[in-house]
Amino acid sequence: MSHDSTQLLLKKRRAVSNIIGSLIVLALVASVGSVILFQGLNQINAFNYDLTLHDKETVNELREDLIFEHVRFEPSTNLLQLFIANIGTVDSTIASVTVVKIDTQELILNRVIPPANSTILIEDHTLIELAPALDIFPNDQWNSTNYNSSSYKITIGTSKGNFFTTLAEPYNS
């Protein structure tokens, strides 16, 4: 029994070519993959939506951000000027201001700010002027030797429960 090699080559085969097979598999993978992708994206969006509705106050606390643009100790008086900017994405209401002398831990100022005119709108700034009682010696001023050589920790508390802090010291001239 001899096998003729020409007979094997001339034998008709019925099959799918490699290119057509690859295209069919690609179409199948792309359609199933896109369904999984869109389903995942919908679940992520639903989760984010639930988070925003769950506790709006907590979300607003995280979006609040204030910075101290400038702190000015008026040298010949006891006046303290705070230039505050709102760089967050929600309006902020200042509730309290605290000033502590760092070296002696003396509480220079602990003031609750009334809600009227203490709200800083988004991308806005404000000036807060305070007159702390510098009571080590009568009629003390920021340029006196008792106060001009110290650093001060200034803390602003907001109505949402956040605290923003800076360190400052009077300019010595």
Task: Read off the pLDDT of residues 137-173 as tens digits, 9 standing for 90 and up.
Answer: 556 788 888 788 889 999 999 988 899 999 998 876 5
Question: Taking the alpha carbons of 132, 136, 139, 140 in that order, is the dihedral positive or negative?
Answer: negative
**Do 95 and 50 sit in the same domain of this protein?**
no
**Do 123 and 143 sit in the same domain of this protein?**
yes
**Do 49 and 75 sit in the same domain of this protein?**
no
Question: Taking the alpha carbons of 97, 102, 105, 108 in that order, is the dihedral positive or negative?
Answer: negative
pLDDT at 100: 93
Q: Look at residue 8 and tell me if it is in a domain.
A: no
pLDDT at 61: 81
**Do 80 and 104 sit in the same domain of this protein?**
yes
**Do 92 and 42 sit in the same domain of this protein?**
no
Residues of the chain falling short of pLDDT 70? 1-16, 54-57, 134-139, 172-173
The number of distinct structural domains making up the chain is: 2
Q: Look at residue 9 and tell me if it is in a domain.
A: no
The Cα–Cα gap between 28 and 3 comes to 42
Q: Look at residue 5 and tell me if it is in a domain.
A: no
The Cα–Cα gap between 70 and 173 comes to 18
**Do 82 and 43 sit in the same domain of this protein?**
no
Write the CATH number for 80.
2.60.40.150
Q: The tokens of 106 are what?
A: 């003396």
Cβ–Cβ under 8 Å, residues 107 and 98: yes
**Do 110 and 28 sit in the same domain of this protein?**
no
**Do 50 and 68 sit in the same domain of this protein?**
no
**Do 24 and 100 sit in the same domain of this protein?**
no
55 dihedral zone (left: phi>0; alpha: psi -120 to 50; beta): beta
List the end-to-end C-alpha distance of the chain, in Å, as a whole number.
Answer: 116
Range of the domain at 122: 64-168
